[in-house]
Amino acid sequence: MASKRHLKAPLASSSAAPSSGAVISLDKICSTLKIPSFDVIHAFVLGSRLWGTSNEESDYDVYLVIKNDADFASHLSSQKGFASIHSANIDGLVMVEREYTGAF
């Protein structure tokens, strides 16, 4: 049975405080960016959805860390271990695990 992993991203309410939030699944993000979700180790929401200032038209800004041995990782190694991918309403920064752990 496939696990259901979701990222919870707050939406701005009329009082400017985050509401209960919109939910987008990790599978949806990965499908849109054409990255297998089983290769994702960490996923972070950034931008307006993190800060609670988004609206219905806001995109999703995400940061994904993928396994070193993922098929997509070989593509990233030719780009210094990370790539910026934009598709539909999702802007993603994808990084290989060894680059992510080395950065901190």
Residues 24-82 have pLDDT tens digits of 899 999 999 999 999 999 999 999 999 999 998 999 999 999 998 888 777 675 667 78
In a domain, residue 78? The reply is: yes
State mean pLDDT over 5-19: 42
How far is 57 from 96, CA to CA, in rounded Å? Answer: 30
97: in domain: yes
Whether 29 maps to a domain, the answer reads yes
* Residue 41 within any structural domain of the chain: yes
What per-residue confidence (pLDDT) applies to 89? 92
Residue-range definition of the domain harbouring residue 11: 6-103
Domain count, the chain: 1
Contact 49, 12 (CB under 8 A): no
> Is residue 62 within 8 Å of residue 90, measured between CB atoms?
yes
26-29 long-range CB contacts below 8 Å, 24 or more apart?
27/2, 29/60, 29/62, 29/64, 29/90, 29/92
Is residue 19's pLDDT more than 70? no
Q: Is residue 1 part of a domain?
A: no
Do 27 and 38 meet the contact criterion of CB atoms below 8 Å apart? no
Within 8 A by CB and 6+ apart from 85, the residues are 33, 34, 35, 91, 92, 93, 94
- For position 104, what pLDDT does the model report? 65
The rounded distance, in Å, linking the Cα atoms of 2 and 54 is: 30
28 domain-assigned: yes
Beta-strand pair 22-25/90-96: unpaired
- Comparison of pLDDT for 23 and 14, the residue scoring more: 23
Structure pTM? 0.73
